[in-house]
Amino acid sequence: MVDIGLDAYRFSISWSRLIPNGRGPINPKGLEYYNNLINELISHGIQPHVTLHNFDLPRALEDEYGGWVSPKIVEDFRAYAEVCFREFGDRVLHWTSVNEPNVFAMGGYDLGFLPPQRCSSPFGIRNCSKGNSSSEPYLVVHHCLLAHASAARLYKKTYQDKQHGFVGLSIYMYWFVPFSDSEEDAKAVERGNEFLVNWLLHPLVFGEYPNVMKKNVGSRMPNFTIAESSLVKGSADFIGIIHYQNWYIKDDPHSLMMQNRDFGADMAANMIEMHDNATTPESLQGVIEYLKQVYGNPPTYVYENGLPIKRNSSLKDVPRVEYMHGYIGAVLDALRNVDVEICRRNGSNIKGYFTWSFLDLFELLDGYQSSYGLFYIDLDDPDLKRYPKLSAKWFSNFLKGKVANLDTILELHNNLPNTSLYHNLQ
């Protein structure tokens, strides 16, 4: 990290590793592990950005009361967060409570292909043994928001004056393109934003869910009490953006006629992944602008942005370099946006950009089949030797203020390590 020029590193603390039973005794080896990691980062001038929950929950809490589907999770999460604030907060300034609750709820509790694999027929894409796709996604996000807000209030009341840090929430920020030029698909874009983005942002800014969601979901939509609304409203010091690419969206009005509906049917629109335009930097700029225009330009970090490439394909990851070049450029354009009418900067409140990911790792959706890393990891090597890809060289040049345009790609490629593995991967 030091060689590349990184000044910040984002990672998750595993609740199960630190407090194996979800509550109660702290695992001393888990505590030592995270203290060592944080201390090593700090000693090299690298800021730790810590996420408290990223799809993994202690099994004991899942077995006891169903984990995130139960309101009991709010107090247990607050207590877990307090352990982290107390033990690590003297060195950690940036805390993300929950990572992308919208994807967590849809993938884990509606379609059932993500942990904890809960769903119900006919909506799940696998045969889940437990769950209710019609109601649980809404309950899970509701409890994520309350858990986040509860932890944030605790931090502000007990720790912020001494530690001077911040507590935020990360959201998978979709950018939708109408599937056609029809007015119906244009309205589907608005509805998609309401369901998948404003679902989280609206409570954080205004203390309530979007009206279109309350209308379409009806009695299955949880309600905030007055006290809960006050707790959630204004509870995020920053927003973390998770963004990769555009999605098409197509109107589907007939789904609202179904008696038994899940999240997708309530949205009355179909999402279609774009496979033909992986590099669309304007989508990230659009997401950032959306936060500025609709939600008051909150402090924002781009916490995930990257391109998957098939593992073991090549260290010469030119498509990833082109992707990073475009998307980082979009962030810079959003930062320096100029209002020509009043002749002054009118930029977004972006505080940082993190590429996904520093190293090749075990991916949530497809394990080791694809890689996002700037560094290749040789899984056949007992020492897990690392090799810098072309993207690592390019990103290092960019961070150090050297020439980082696309014309330098082949020159950088010639300087990659001359190893047998490298030649095999070309």
Indicate which CATH number applies to the domain containing 315. 3.20.20.80
Structural domain includes residue 185: no
Q: Among the options 194, 228, 304, 322, which is catalytic?
A: 304
**Would you call 75 a catalytic residue per the annotation?**
no
Reported as a single tens digit per residue, the pLDDT across 256-273 is 999 899 999 999 999 988
Task: Please tell me whether residue 333 adopts helix, strand or coil conformation.
Answer: helix
The domain of 362 spans 2-171+280-415
Contact (Cβ atoms closer than 8 angstroms) between residue 387 and residue 419: yes
pLDDT for position 389: 95
Percent of the chain past pLDDT 70, that is, above it, reads 91
Strand-pair category, 94-98 with 386-388: unpaired
Rounded to whole angstroms, the Cα distance separating 362 from 364 reads 7
Structural domain includes residue 260: no
Structural domain includes residue 377: yes
Q: How many CB atoms lie within 10 A of CB 130?
A: 15
Structural domain includes residue 297: yes
Instruction: Report residue 403's pLDDT band, with 50, 70 and 90 as the boundaries.
Output: low
Structural domain includes residue 273: no
**Would you call 194 a catalytic residue per the annotation?**
no
Cα 91 to chain centroid, rounded: 22
Contacts of 250 (CB under 8 A, 6+ apart): 179, 180, 185, 188, 269, 270, 272
pTM confidence score: 0.93
Cα 286 to chain centroid, rounded: 17
If you average pLDDT over every residue of the chain, what do you get? 91
Instruction: Report residue 278's pLDDT band, with 50, 70 and 90 as the boundaries.
Output: low
Domain count, the chain: 1
Rounded to whole angstroms, the Cα distance separating 342 from 344 reads 6
End-to-end CA, the chain:
24
Contact (Cβ atoms closer than 8 angstroms) between residue 22 and residue 14: no
Instruction: Report residue 416's pLDDT band, with 50, 70 and 90 as the boundaries.
Output: low
Q: Is 176 exposed, middle or buried (0-12, 13-18, 19+ CB in 10 A)?
A: buried
Structural domain includes residue 380: yes
Q: Among the options 100, 194, 228, 322, which is catalytic?
A: 100
The stretch 176-190 carries a mean pLDDT of 93
